[in-house]
Structure 1
C-alpha cells in the first residue's frame, strides 16, 4: 500500500460534477439597503449535465463519462462524442450504480491498459451510495483497483478534485460558454429568417420594434408604457413598405452579439440596425427608415459608407455642434407653424442633412440622400380659426411619413386576426406570434403574385385567406405528391366552382390543394342533389365523402374524376 501511495502515477481520485447549461453571472441586482437579497431564477438556470472525472495525482486526466437525461441517445450527440469517452443515460441525468460500474469497466480500465498503467492502483471516491455496491467492489478486485471510499462530510477537505480540478474547469466554462436564451426556438428563428430573406428586397425598407403581447412571467418580458400592448416580448424587424418582414430579431437582454467583418460598435441600438441590415445588398440604392430610438451620426455615416442610404428622426442632443434652433425657440408664437431650417455637414466624406420642422411640436430628421427641398404644402387643422389651413412641409418630412410605416402596418395585420390560444410557456407564445407573421408574409406574397400576373381574380382578404390556409393544412393528404405548393389557386375552374355553389343547397367548396391530394376521396350514396361541377346541370345521388360535394358519376358524365384532377 505504501509503495503505491509513494508513486503519484498510481493514485487516482474520481468524482462527479455538474455543468450548468446557463451559467450564472454571480451578479444580482437589488435595491440599496435591502438586508435579504434573493437571486432571480432565470429560465434554464437549473438545466445541467453530470460529468464523471478521474484525475491522477501526477496531473493526468482520464477520459470522462457524460451522463445525459435521455432514455435514448440522440444520433447527433453519439457521432460528436470522442471514441474514448463514455456516455451514460439516466432519467434525471444523475449518476447511478450501473453507470459507475460501466464507467470503471468500459472507460477507465481500458484507457489505463492502453496507456500501459502499472497495477494495482488506488482510486479514491466519496461515500455516495452509487460507488459502494457489491458489483463494483467485485469488479475493482478483479481489475486490481483498490477502491477507497472517503468518510462522509469530509470529501471537501480530503478530496482534491473539487479544488484542484473542478474549480478551474467551471471558471473557464463560465467565462467561455455563451448560452443562447432562445435555444429552444432558435432552429425556427433561423429557418424563418432564411426564408424571409430569400424574398427580393424592395428599395425602401423600414426598421422598428414590435411587441409580442403577453403577461407570461419571464425575465425577457419587457414593459413599454408608450405601446398599445405594454407587456410582452420585444422584437426588432426590418420590413418593406407594404409590411413584409424580411428579418427579425428577438430582444433577449444582455446577450453578446458578435460583430463580423470589422463592424463598428455603435451602441446597443446602433448594433441592432447593423445586424438587421446585413441582408441588405450594398451599393444597390436601398434606403432604410428608422426613428429616433436608433438614429445617430455614427450610424448614418457607417451605412452611407456601406452604400445604404438612410433617413430617420433624431434627438437634438445626439447631433454634435448642433446649430439648429432648439425646442424653446421654435415653440414661440412668433415662429409660424410649418417653419423649417436645414443644416448640411460633411462627416468623414459623407454629406448629411439635418432638418428641423415645426408642426404641433418640433421634429428633427437626419438624412444622407434628401433634404428640405422641394417644399410642398399640407393641410392641418388650426384651433384658432377652427378650420383647415395649408402649411409648408419639407420633402424629407413627406418622404419619411410615406415609407416609415412598414412595421406598423404589419402590427395592424397581426392585430386583426391572430392566434388567441393561451399558454403558460413563453416558447409557445413566441411561436404563435412568429406563425402569425409567417402567415401575413405568405398573404402579402400571394397578393403581390396576383398583381404581377395581372390576374382578373380578386385577391382574398386576410380573414378568408387564413380560413383557406387552415382548411388546406387540416385536410391535405400526406400521401399525395402530385400537388404543387403555393397560394390558393386563381384558375378559372376555382372561380366557376365558387359561382356555382351559390345555386341550390349550400355546399362548401374545398381548396384546390385538398381536391387534388388523392387521399380518401370516396364516393358515397346520398340524397338527390344538383351536381356542383361547372357546366353540368344534371342531378346525382353520389357525393365525395371527404369534400362533401355532390358530383355526377355515370356512363355519360364523370364529374367526380374531373373535379379531383383538373
Structure 2
C-alpha cells in the first residue's frame, strides 16, 4: 500500500503518532469556519477538476490523435511514453528516506514559551524593539512633553504586547475594537496586561526596519530581515516526515500593497500570497517565500520551478516526496527534482502541457471511472475520468505501477495525492481559526500578524512532539503562551502606582495570594521617606 512506499521514516516514531496528531487538531479545530470545506485535505478527486483547465475534446478531435505503436505514446512535442508497466522490484532507493523526522538539535522544550522562543528569537525581538523605539521617537514630537503613554518600549513590554495578541486570538476577540476589548464589560486579562491607550500606541508604532537604510528597489524590504530570520529558525528546528506539501497561503488584506493579489478560491479573496512548504502529517511550516510579483524570481527559470527548488532546499538529498498542484507541476521539474535533488513529486498537471499524450485529454468517448497510464524512465502519468468529458491528469516520480483501488476505482496515485495535498490548506485553516490579525492599513504589520500565527502553529507542533506526556489542545496552548509572555510585565506593574482594583485583578490573573507588607501599605509618601531617612541618620550621631 501507499503508506509503506516510503521507508526509514515512520519506524523511528511512536506508532500512534498519526492518531495523536489527528486528535490534537480535531479537538482544537472543531469550530472551523465552513468557508474552508472546499480546501480540506480529504477532498474527493472529482473536485480536483475544478483546479485544472477543463478542456473539452470533440469526437473528430479524438479521431485525429496518433495511434499507439508497440505501446508507445507521444506528446505534442514528441515526448515519448510507454503504456507498458515497468517490471516490479523491491522498494526503489528513491523512496527510502534517510533522515529521521522530529525536532533538530535535541532542543529542550518544557513550557509553551520555550517552543515559541526557538522561532521568535531575541535577535528578532531586538530588531523590532530597536526600530519601534525609533518610530516612537519620531512620533513623540506630536505629543505634549510628559505624556504618560509616550515613552520607549523594551523586551518585557513587547513580549507582553505579543502575549495579549495571542490571548485575543485564542479567545477569538481579535476582530473586536480596542474599546470593546478593554471595556469594563470585557475580559479583565487585557486591562491587566496594559492600558488601552498604550496598546493602541504600540501597535501604531511597531516597525521592523530602518527607514533611512531601506532598499527602495526591494518591495519586501520593510519586513524582510525579521522574516528571513524567522524562516531560518523554522527550517533548522524541525525535520519533516516522509511527505511534504507545497501550496499557497493567503494573508487577507484589502489595503494598499504593491503585491496584493486576488485568489477567488480562498476565503479572504484579496491579500498577500505566501508560498509555503508544510509537513503533510503535522502541518509544521518548514519554509515559506513571499510572492512579491515579478521580483519574486531572481533567476531566468520559471517562477513555479524556482519556488519549488528554493522551498525544498532543506530536504534535498533525503528522498522525501513533495505533493503540489498544477501551478507548480511540470515534466521538466519532476525530472530535475529526482535526478539532481533526490526528491520525488506527485502533482496534478495542466492539460496544456505539451508532454501529455492526446489520448490522456478529456473525451466524450472515455468511460467514467477509468484510468490510463503511461511511463517514461522514472515518470508515471495517469489520466482518470471522474465524469463524462472530464479528465484529471497527475504525474508521479514516486509510483511505478498501475495500481487501482477496486472499491473507489481511483488510481493509487490519486488516492495518495488526496491524502497529502492538504498540508498547507490545513495550516492556513488553523491560522484563520485562532488568528491574531487586527484590521490595519499597513501591509508590513499585516505580514507580522501572519508571522505570529505561523510561529504559534509551529511552536504548537514542537511543543506536542517533544512531550512524552499527554498533549494539549491548541486553544489551551495559545492561552498559556500568551500568559507566559505577559507575566513578567504584569508582575512589574504590581510595583507601580496603580489602583487597588487593578492590582487585585492582576493578582487574580497571576494566581498570587501572598501580599507583602510593603505592597499592603503601598509606596511611602515623599515626606515620610524624608522623615524616615533623617531619623535613620540621626541614630548614628
Q: With the length of structure 2 as denominator, give the TM-score of the two structures.
A: 0.50
More helix by share: 2
Q: TM-score w.r.t. structure 1 length?
A: 0.48
Larger radius of gyration: 1
